[in-house]
Amino acid sequence: MSVLDFILGRRLANREFSERKIGAFEGVPAMGLDGLGSSAYGPEAALSILIPLGAGATSYTGWVMLPIVALLAILFASYWQTIRAYPSNGGAYIVARDNLARTPVSWLRLR
């Protein structure tokens, strides 16, 4: 047994795969890590802009963070809806294929 197998566990057999599916309770944190990781640098970026303005500028930090928190809430709701709509492993390709047009400009209805 390798160290990687010890950490991650054994591979699932094909017959076991259908028994082990990620539900909404496990899927939201798993998918949310992407958005959370992308926005983790927001507070640092806001402070790097506000610090040169002086100590009084830190009172604006809350107003800068408010849109970031709102976007995280929207991202959470979006992932939650995706997991509920596609309980059998709806990846980005499947979700896009089902919800977007076949051709990029078909929604414009150009004549």
Indicate whether this model's pTM tops 0.75. no
Per-residue pLDDT of the chain (111 residues; tens, 9 = 90+): 688 878 877 777 777 766 666 777 777 776 666 666 666 777 777 777 777 777 777 777 788 888 989 998 998 998 888 888 888 777 777 888 787 766 666 555 554
Exposed, middle or buried: residue 96 (CB in 10 Å: 0-12, 13-18, 19+)?
A: exposed
Q: How many other β-carbons are positioned within 10 Å of the β-carbon of residue 7?
A: 7
Evaluate whether 68 touches 9 at the Cβ level (below 8 Å): no
Q: How many Å apart are CA 46 and CA 60, to the nearest integer? A: 9
